[in-house]
Amino acid sequence: MNVLIDNREVFLSGFKNTGILFVFSAFFALILGTIVAGMRVSPAPAMRAAGTIYVNAVRNTPLTLILAFFALGYPRLGLPHLDYMFAAIVGLSLYTATYVSEAIRSGINTVSVGQSEAARAIGLTFMQTLSLIVLPQAFRSVVPPLFSVFIALLKNTTVAAGFGVVEAGGIRATLSDLGEPLLPGLLWVALIFVVLVLGILTPLQRYLEKKWRVAR
């Protein structure tokens, strides 16, 4: 307990950055992932191909490589400077969006084709059919896999530590610089992650599942 109290500044700023990385990356990944899922079921072959290539290319690249690109490769391209935090959010979002897209696409496949045929038959466009009829029904079955993706994202934020963003995964290093005992510090970090998942994400998942089940 002493490790935690004596170093609350370190813990606080670490988890604050974890929170920022998580919230922004989850937000952008959800938007981008939904768009990509839409592309992958689009009637236009070029859209489908672009979506498929993106998902397969990025999903099969290790996250460390993606973040390394933004931390080490990107600055050499002579493009506008990105600070580490922003670059980490971009990398995490691009990476997580592929998993979001796959979760949503599998949800789309659970909605019967009759639903989109009926939508098209009354004159709704592809975008209207997707946004008004298919996605609202797909999101229900998507909640559990989506939360698995977000829990993975929460843990993946620690990878950003290796690239200069001081978040919770970096607390251990900071503590060891301060000469604190290593093991208790590590255990506290792990424990707080568990609390974040069980205390925030899991209840939120349960709430959404329940809310959308009633609406059926």
Q: Which is nearer to another protein, 45 or 78 (CB)?
A: 45
Question: Residue 212's closest CA among 133, 100, 137, 106?
Answer: 137
Shortest Cβ 71–another protein spacing (Å)? 43
Shortest Cβ 216–another protein spacing (Å)? 7
Residue by residue, DSSP assigns 158-203 as: GGGGGGT---GGGHHHHHHHTT--HHHHHHHHHHHHHHHIIIIIHH
Distance, C-alpha 105 to centroid of its chain: 16
Shortest Cβ 61–another protein spacing (Å)? 34
Shortest Cβ 41–another protein spacing (Å)? 15
Shortest Cβ 134–another protein spacing (Å)? 10
Tokens of 163: 């690239």
End-to-end CA distance of the chain: 47
Q: What residues make contact with another protein under the rule CB under 8 A? A: 43, 112, 114-115, 117-125, 128, 132-133, 136-137, 215-216
Q: Which is nearer to another protein, 61 or 115 (CB)?
A: 115
Q: Which is nearer to another protein, 79 or 215 (CB)?
A: 215
Instruction: Give the residue carrying structure tokens 């390394």.
Output: 68
Q: Which is nearer to another protein, 138 or 161 (CB)?
A: 138
Q: Which is nearer to another protein, 106 or 131 (CB)?
A: 131
Q: Which residues of 134-150 are buried (b: 16+ CB within 10 A; e: fewer)?
A: bbebbbbbbbebbbebb
- Asked if residue 191 lies in contact with residue 60, where contact means CB atoms within 8 angstroms, the answer is no
